[in-house]
Amino acid sequence: MTKLIEFLDHNERAALAKRSMPRWSDPMLATLTEERFNHKDWIFERKLDGERVLVFKKDASVELFSRNRKNISKTYPELVERLEEEKIARCILDGEIVAFSGKITSFSRLQQRMQIKKSVEARKSDVAVFLYVFDILYFDGYATEDLALRRRKEILRRALRFEGSLRFTPHRNEQGVAFYQQACHKGWEGIIAKDANAAYAHSRSRNWLKFKCSKRQELVVGGWTEPGGQRRGFGALLVGYYQEKKLVYAGKVGTGYNGETLRRLHRQLVSHERSTSPFDRGEDTGSTVHYCTPKLVAEIGFNEWTEDGRLRHPRFIGLRRDKEASEVVREG
């Protein structure tokens, strides 16, 4: 048994499963909550505004995957190279790739890298990226997912050298309310509360909870409006979410775009254009509308939901490639 786990007691070692490394492992997902609390058995991490990633390191090979199993290694070649330097032979890591705008992680800035599909182009980008790792699911012949989170994080800290673009995700113990207030004051997206004694669940779970400072969620793009005045590309996106397999219209999003985003996104919209509306109910879109097959998923910030189920003061943050449109539901 590797020296990395010598500090575990007898029962914890028994919880380790000796097995070959799986080709895939579904990520654990957090549940949104409006509750804020302190608890001695919970830890609290900064909610990073980036792209979720699962790292599969198998000897000399390192691959990065989004949470919906898309290989994104060529978008972040410097992170692949950094992980190749690690001595650990085989492991599965869970983390978040981020870019910074000042001291704050910025999904909008990361979008400039997420659009790149070739390693050569990615290396030329001036958007520096970092990988924050917060969990380890497998290492050198052992599955760790049945261990308590606190123990998994101890193994993780011992397993890798966290320097340069590879970083350990720190956490606070017990004091979730104060940390949440600090996060909002600093302009962070929020924090993640995690049950320190829980195993890793390969699904959405209430053992991980999202405390968001501002309202944001993923929504499906179902169409767009014509631009007005001097604007190019499109005017606003038509967005919605699924409820009992029906696409429910949630409103128009007309702000948050720069010129390059308008041009690039308009090309994508046109490639999915269709003549009929994809929305099953709630639609009130006007006459200058184009429809598209609901494949694109956008991250949208907004103030609140109105009584009739529309977004109030929505703004575009970026496209997500790590979630299927059919998975998008209303969170709050």
User: Residue 63 — pLDDT band, cuts 50, 70, 90?
Assistant: very high
pLDDT recorded at residue 278: 95
pLDDT confidence bin for 282, thresholds 50/70/90: confident
Region 3-32: mean pLDDT is 89
According to the model, what pLDDT value does residue 4 have? 64
Quickly count: other Cβ atoms within 10 Å of residue 90's Cβ: 16
Tokens 């997500």 appear where?
320
**Residue 64 pLDDT:** 98
Q: How far is CA 307 from CA 76, 152, 250, 272, 276, in A?
A: 42, 43, 11, 31, 27
pLDDT in the model for residue 17 = 86
Stronger pLDDT, 323 or 221, i.e. the higher one: 221
The pLDDT value given to residue 286: 66
What's the gap between Cα 288 and its chain centre? 33
CA distance 202 to 246: 26
**What DSSP letter does each residue of 48-69 carry, written as one string?**
--SEEEEEEEETTEEEEE-TTS
Catalytic residue among 3, 18, 47, 194: 47
pLDDT in tens, 155-187: 999 999 999 999 999 999 999 999 999 999 998
Three-class secondary structure of residue 288 per DSSP:
coil
pLDDT at position 285: 61
**% pLDDT > 70, the chain:** 98
φ, ψ dihedrals at 83, nearest 5°: -70, -30
Neighbours of 64 (CB within 10 A): 25
Q: Give the whole-angstrom CA distance, residue 92 versus residue 274.
A: 41
Cα separations in angstroms, 300 against 8, 119, 189, 220, 278: 43, 29, 13, 10, 19
CB atoms within 10 A of CB 75: 26
Check residue 15 and give its pLDDT: 87
Query: pLDDT grade, residue 290 (50/70/90)?
Result: very high
Structure tokens at 303: 């103030």
Q: What residue ranges in 162-214 does DSSP mark as E strands?
A: 166-168, 171-173, 190-195, 204-212
- How far apart are alpha carbons 244 and 237 in whole angstroms? 23
> Which pLDDT does position 50 carry in this prediction?
95
CA distances for 145 relative to 53, 92, 136, 138, angstroms: 17, 10, 8, 7
In the annotation, is 212 catalytic? no
pLDDT at 104: 92
| pLDDT for 65 beyond 90 | yes
Percent of the chain at pLDDT > 90 equals 84
b/e sequence 163-196, b meaning 16+ C-beta within 10 Å: eebbbbbebbebebeebbeebbeeebbbbbbbbb
Higher pLDDT, 3 or 282: 282
pLDDT of 331 reads: 87
Closest CA to 253 of 218, 214, 201, 209: 218
Helices (H) and strands (E) in the chain, counts: 7, 23
What pLDDT is stored for residue 9 in this prediction?
A: 87
What structural domains does the chain harbor? 3-212 (3.30.470.30), 215-327 (2.40.50.140)
Indicate if the pLDDT at residue 205 is higher than 90.
yes
Instruction: Tell me the C-alpha distance between 171 and 194, whole Å.
Output: 10
Give the pLDDT mean for 254-271.
94
pLDDT value of position 2:
65
Given pLDDT bands bounded at 50, 70 and 90, which one contains residue 97? very high
pLDDT mean across residues, the chain: 93
Whether the per-residue pLDDT at 6 is higher than 80: the answer is: no
Is the pLDDT at 275 greater than 60? The verdict is yes
Residues contacting residue 8 through CB under 8 Å, at least 6 positions apart: 16, 147, 151
